[in-house]
Amino acid sequence: MTQQRFLTEPEVAAILRCSREKIKRLRLAGKLAYLPGRPVLIDEADLASYIEAEKARIAAKAEAAKPRPRLTETDARKWALEQVLLRRGRRKP
């Protein structure tokens, strides 16, 4: 059986290189699981899953931010023609 290792808020803050207040905000927002008490304890496995979730979120955000391919001149003309035709179809007689 593997033994769970628990970390305190200052230890987690040192690992993530952020402030204790940020760790507290993450806990209270439900993004980082913890054991209430004095001191507050955070399971190392929960910290690892939080880090993986953040990596996945950042990767998805970067994927969504990739530039779209630019339209060629013929694509632009085709798009403009479609827009004109759509507007004509919406006009009232």
pLDDT of residue 91: 63
How far is the C-alpha of 55 from the C-alpha of 43, rounded, in Å?
A: 19
Domain extents in the chain? 6-88
How far is the C-alpha of 29 from the C-alpha of 26, rounded, in Å?
A: 5
List per-block mean pLDDT (blocks of 10 residues) for the chain, which spans 93 residues.
Answer: 85 95 95 92 95 93 78 80 80 59
Interval 49-74: pLDDT, tens: 999 999 999 998 888 777 777 767 77
| Cis upstream peptide for 69 (omega within 30°) | no
Q: Which residue has the tokens 């209270």?
A: 28
Provide the whole-model pTM: 0.63
